[in-house]
Amino acid sequence: MSIQGKHIVIGICGSIAAYKITSLIRLLVKAEASVQVIMSPDAKDFVTPLTIATLSKNPVLSDYFEHSNGLWNNHVELGLKADLMLIAPATANTLSKMASGGCDNLLLATYLSAKCPVYFAPAMDLDMWKHPSTQHNISILQGYGNTMIAPNSGELASGLNGQGRLAEPDEILQSIRDFFTDNRVLQGKKALVSAGPTHEPIDPVRFIGNHSSGKMGFAIAEILHRLGAEVTLVSGPTSLDTPPGVVRKDVTTAQQMLDTCNKYFDAAEIIVMSAAVADYTPVNPEEQKIKKKSDSIEISLKKTIDILAFLGERKASKQTLVGFALETNNELPNALEKLKRKNLDYIVLNSMQDKGAGFSGDTNKVTIIANDGQVQHYELKSKKEVAADIAAVIIKHQEIITSL
């Protein structure tokens, strides 16, 4: 199913990022969607209604009553007519009002009247985005069933650099396309994905880590969301942008990753643990930077909790649990041993011996092993293609579980 003929209501809020929505409107109209734009009063300070009306081919609405022609803009009708409502850029102010049921303009009244799915794409400065009240409001909105198109990281209008940058128009368009596709086979499912490395502190400036980029896990989170799942991504330190629509939880250490994964595990039907978690962590991290006074240094290490084995012990019958094994020798026997010992449904094996596989790159070559002993080998592919292969295996397993 395409977006052709779909009626999409876009609510534009008062943000410097409002200019990006002009490009989105062009893309939607080109795809033959019907676009009706509602602007908050402050939005008109950033982009003109004339520009939006010209691009959308529809009059822009902002007030309940049009003094020029005496017509009333019926917010109930606007909300009922829409196949999808998108609020972008969604400011901290509007998110707060949406979460609390505020209704002091036409945009908010239409949101409260909407019976269709509602997507929102936040845009604000770094500190505003990180503020607990903003994050709380986002959690409330997601609890209502709304879908967030997460902001990107990058240079912000304030000059700061960090998360809060409105998702790009093509990313927002893809999220809308994904909603209207027939291939949302994981609709209603919750997924938990871990990605990236962990950093175990030695002192305030040094850590034990690895070369994981997080690319594989981020690709998996993205494809699961595109297939309809509600995805929580637990990420170690990485510079990657959050995939649109995915809820991201940042962690640093193995213990933090364990605690966060444990928090979301029980509610998830799909769990993919692709993070490269440190096996050991310093026993006593120094509170001050270690000075270079001697030719050698000894650091006592202790084992971290095996997150995958810990979750495997608690795995329920409704859940599909997928782990990863990066091996350098005896690849298949080692992977099989991990599969059984950790009570996994599948393990994804990749070898450091395979050219183009492993950390940091954009490609991977994997073997997927099922707990019934079936082994499926795949050729070298992009990590996004590998993610699609893994998702196909998960879909099949979930269908089997559901039929039992």
Strand order in the sheet with 367-370: 247-250, 230-235, 190-195, 270-273, 320-327, 346-351, 367-370, 375-377
CB count, 10 Å around CB of 270?
26
Residue 213, exposed/middle/buried by CB under 10 A (0-12, 13-18, 19+)?
Answer: buried
Cα separation, 139 vs 149, whole angstroms: 13
Domains of the chain in start order, with CATH, are 7-180 (3.40.50.1950), 190-285+294-403 (3.40.50.10300)
The predicted structure's pLDDT at residue 2:
75
Q: What does each C-alpha distance from 270 to 95, 178, 318, 329, 345 come to in angstroms?
A: 29, 19, 9, 29, 11
Task: Return the pLDDT at 323.
Answer: 97
Q: What is the mean pLDDT of residues 153-177?
A: 89
For 117-150, the pLDDT digits (tens) are 899 999 999 999 999 999 999 989 988 888 889 8
Whether cis (ω within 30° of 0) applies to the bond prior to 89 is: yes
Q: What is the mean pLDDT of the chain?
A: 90
pLDDT category of residue 296 using cuts at 50, 70 and 90: confident
Per mean pLDDT, which of 148-152, 312-316, 354-358 is the most reliable?
Answer: 312-316
Q: What is the token pair recorded at 97?
A: 């009002």
Could you tell me if 196 and 166 are in contact, meaning their C-beta atoms sit under 8 angstroms apart?
no
Tell me the per-residue pLDDT of 81-126, one tens digit each, with 9 for 90 and over: 899 999 999 999 999 999 999 999 999 999 999 988 899 999 999 9
Active site residues: 210
Of residues 69 and 384, more confidently modeled: 384
Lowest-pLDDT range, 32-36, 75-79, 333-337?
75-79
| Whether the model pTM is above 0.75 | no
